[in-house]
Chain A
């Protein structure tokens, strides 16, 4: 496989469930990101990991818990979500070199529906 792969592509969960979204990048990059895409709203940066260390947490509720066990894998653990958390969750990766190009490589997203 190449690029950035996200699973599952679709997820429906109740407010009391616990589930996880998985992202895997095959590009050898050293940074990974979670973005939230909601209709008619800008993409929201949720978390950034650089060299497996979390470097950004944009006031995301604690019901979202990221995990980056190595430079190729990123998880988003979900628990006790609210219906307003329904959205497309996008994972991205990039290579940080100090002269950052701004080029992110995105996965296809995980469409989450919270009932």
Chain B
């Protein structure tokens, strides 16, 4: 079946540092890939997505590229802010439709001044 593997957290960075959160996946077919973010006390919200190989999703300074050859979708940001502190979830879609997503465990990011 489908699965998503994320790096374990927490990841602690200083403000303006470079961020990478690794994500690899196992899936049949050609799923779409997503990053969701969960700020403290809130529900998950879509951060960015990519629907086919070599696509790059981007939003709020975050980027991730769909790498089919390495089955990866790593999240990056050039300069993090304290307000980016949250839990980040990598996910893929079931190719059977229905918006049924398989999520990873989530990676907590803490950004300090």
Interface residues of A (CB under 8 A from B): 4, 31, 33, 35, 40-43, 45, 48, 50, 55-56, 90, 92, 94, 96, 98, 100-109
Check B99 against A43 for contact (C-beta < 8 Å). Answer: no
How far is the CB of B46 from the nearest CB of chain A, in Å?
5
| 15 other A-B residue contacts (CB within 8 Å) besides A42-B4, A45-B101, A90-B43 | A31-B98, A33-B99, A42-B3, A42-B104, A42-B106, A45-B100, A55-B98, A98-B97, A100-B99, A101-B49, A102-B46, A104-B36, A104-B44, A106-B44, A107-B43
Taking CB atoms, residues of chain B closer than 8 Å to A4 are 43
What are 14 A-B residue pairs whose CB atoms fall within 8 Å in the complex?
A31-B99, A43-B103, A48-B100, A55-B98, A56-B100, A92-B44, A96-B97, A96-B98, A100-B98, A102-B32, A102-B46, A102-B93, A108-B42, A108-B43
Check A90 against B44 for contact (C-beta < 8 Å). Answer: yes
- B102 on interface, CB distance cutoff 8 Å: yes
Taking CB atoms, residues of chain A closer than 8 Å to B34 are 102
How far is the CB of B54 from the nearest CB of chain A, in Å?
18
Q: Given A102-B32, A102-B93: A94 and B42 within 8 A (CB)?
A: no
Q: How many of chain B's residues have a CB under 8 angstroms from any CB in A?
A: 25
CA distance in complex: A49, B106 (Å): 25
- Judged by DSSP, the binding face of B is strand
Q: Would you list the 9 A-B pairs with minimal beta carbon distance, nearest first?
A: A106-B43, A43-B103, A102-B93, A106-B44, A94-B99, A100-B99, A108-B43, A42-B103, A107-B43
Check A104 against B46 for contact (C-beta < 8 Å). Answer: yes
Check A102 against B99 for contact (C-beta < 8 Å). Answer: yes
How far is the CB of A1 from the nearest CB of chain B, in Å?
14
Taking CB atoms, residues of chain A closer than 8 Å to B46 are 102-104
Question: A90: nearest residue on chain B (CB-CB)?
Answer: B43
Per-residue CB contact flags for chain B residues 24-62 toward chain A (1 = under 8 Å, else 0) read 000000001010100001111110010000000000000
Taking CB atoms, residues of chain B closer than 8 Å to A55 are 98
Q: Given A43-B89, A90-B43, A109-B43: A104 and B103 within 8 A (CB)?
A: no
Check B100 against A50 for contact (C-beta < 8 Å). Answer: no
